[in-house]
Amino acid sequence: MIFGGAMAILEGIAAISKGDIFLATRHYVFEFSLTGWGWVHLILGIVLVLAGCAVLSGALWARYFGVAVAGLGAIANFLWIPYYPLWAIVLVAVNIFIVWALCTGMHREADETLGA
């Protein structure tokens, strides 16, 4: 989760600096300025890193928060695909893996608590 957040932070910084590595899209439904998308990814990345640190503390609320934030990260990167397809698809996969890992951990903890 911390890795996914760090990658989103780098993605946000790259978009804010308006590098020439991004594709120019036209008539895209979710078209924001490149700087706007950069701020979205930067903020989501920071929140993902903070949520990852909270998950390491073992708090149950952090798992739920992490699932929500990683889900938002997957959606944001899915919408980002026209701007940088490879990086966006990799981060969608990372965020889906985060959601899966956090949900699997919650399921196992519930089984251990119930004695199953």
Domain boundaries of the chain, sorted by first residue: 2-17+32-114
Cα angle: 114, vertex 59, 61; to 5 degrees = 90
Question: Residue 5 is encoded by which pair of tokens?
Answer: 């957040």
Give the tens place of pLDDT for each residue, 51-88: 999 999 988 899 999 999 999 999 999 988 887 888 88
Residues 6 or more apart whose CB falls under 8 angstroms from that of 17 comprise 38
Give the tens place of pLDDT for each residue, 1-34: 899 899 999 988 888 887 666 666 666 656 667 7
Phi then psi for residue 4, to 5 deg, are -60, -40
For 81, other C-beta atoms within 10 Å of its C-beta total: 16
For 105, other C-beta atoms within 10 Å of its C-beta total: 14
Q: Give Cα 90 distance to the centre of its chain.
A: 11
The predicted model scores a pTM of 0.80
Cα angle: 13, vertex 19, 21; to 5 degrees = 110
Write the DSSP symbol of residue 74: H
